[in-house]
Amino acid sequence: MATPMTPAQIKAQLKKFGVSFKEYKDWSTHNRNHKGSWGPVHGLMVHHTGSDSKDQRQLLYAGTAALPGPLCQFGLSQDGTIHLVGWGRANHAGAGDDDVLHAVKNELKLPVDNESNTDGNRHFYGVEIWYSGSHEMTDAQYATLRKLAAAICDFHNWNEKSVIGHGEWGSPGKWDPGYKPGKMMDMDEVRADIKATIAKTEPETPSKPTSPSKPKPAPKPVTPAFPGAYYFRPGARNSYVTTLGKQLVKKGYGKFYKQGPGPHWTAVDRAAVRAFQKAQGWTGSNADGYPGPETWKRLFS
Ligand SMILES: [Zn+2]
């Protein structure tokens, strides 16, 4: 059971699938619902108008004395634009084969159509493509047909088997959409293309939006006060040496420490400090490997 889209919903779908469209007159309330119901809808029916005229909006909107409009919901002009000419029941499908309808509804392989016992206007969206059918439609029309079909299938969770040509429906003498006189396009190929379009335009699963986390205030670096040169001399053993060594490791001077760092002040500590001092651009006595207040400050900042 599929309830037809509302005018707002179809417009949103067309936008979602990048279909350019124009709205003709009071299309959104123009229909033949007073003659019969529209829906549940089961598919999209594809037609050619049989004319190469460049502006077929009024004919599709108003129809003729014998066949009052709207004649479809979607007109498709040569430049690939969809023209919305009606919304609701429209005179496009006529009577067709209930076995075909059953197959469309259940997205099965279509049987050969051989009877006209079922109202199609109630159950199909219809697109009228502006060309004679005796030659191919334009590339722009074909591209838009694929997107239109994908947009409709996407909304209703249908697959490409919900799209049929009028020539598959069971209305006598119909062969649309055609590609040469009296010849209907290979609709299985059309459906395969539509399937590819549906697959390509399947919106990617949006990644779960994560609320932008407030950046945590950086913890204030606790710079221990420089304890004094006294603690860093040959033979010294104290926790400051360990603290210094751990900080050097943290800053990337771990390679000096095959063991430790530990509480004993050793040549390894001195070499690491010297490397750090040299990295500051210091030379001479400023890079002697014994930490002073400036070395300490920089090391812990
Ligand atoms: Zn037709």
All structural domains of the chain with their residue ranges? 7-201, 229-300
Phi and psi of 77, rounded to 5°?
-80, 170
Structure tokens at 269: 């500590």
Tokens 């986390």, residue located: 213
Q: What pLDDT sits at residue 5? A: 98
Distances (CA, A) of 16 to 20, 124, 150, 155, 292: 10, 21, 10, 10, 66
CA distance 92 to 42: 15
- What's the one-letter identity of residue 67? L
From the CA of 250, how far away is ligand 1's center (Å)?
77
Q: Distance between CA 165 and CA 187 in Å, rounded?
A: 7
Mean pLDDT for all residues in the chain: 91
Are the CB atoms for 62 and 121 separated by under 8 Å? no
* Residue 202 CA, ligand 1 centroid: distance in Å: 29
In the reported structure, the alpha carbon of residue 4 is separated from the centroid of ligand 1 by a whole-number distance in angstroms of 20
Helix spans in the chain (H): 7-16, 57-62, 98-105, 139-156, 187-201, 239-248, 267-279, 293-300
**Res 235: pLDDT:** 77
Q: ω into residue 177 within 30 of 0, thus cis?
A: yes
How remote is the CA of residue 72 from the centroid of ligand 1, in Å?
9
Give me the pLDDT at residue 219, please: 58
User: Tell me: the pLDDT tens digits for 187-201?
Assistant: 999 999 999 999 987
Give this prediction's pTM.
Answer: 0.68
> What DSSP designation does 129 have?
E
How far, in Å, CA of 295 to CA of 301, rounded? 10
pLDDT, averaged in runs of 10, over the chain (301 residues) = 94 97 98 96 98 98 97 98 98 97 96 96 98 97 98 97 97 95 97 94 54 57 75 81 89 86 87 92 89 88 83
For the segment 155-168, what is each residue's pLDDT rounded down to a tens digit? 999 999 999 999 99
Task: State in Å: Cα 167 to ligand 1 middle.
Answer: 7
Secondary structure string (H, E, C) spanning 165-222: EHHHCCCCCCCCCEEECCEECCHHHHHHHHHHHHHHHCCCCCCCCCCCCCCCCCCCCC
Query: How many angstroms is it from 157 CA to the middle of ligand 1?
Result: 25
Distance 122 CA to ligand 1 centre (A): 15
Identify residue 100 by its one-letter amino acid code. V
Would you say the CATH fold of 229-300 matches that of 7-201? no
Name the superfamily (CATH) of residues 7-201. Answer: Peptidoglycan recognition protein-like (3.40.80.10)
**Ligand 1 geometric centre to CA of 256 (Å):** 84
Cβ(170)–Cβ(115) under 8 Å? yes
CATH superfamily of 229-300: PGBD-like superfamily/PGBD (1.10.101.10)
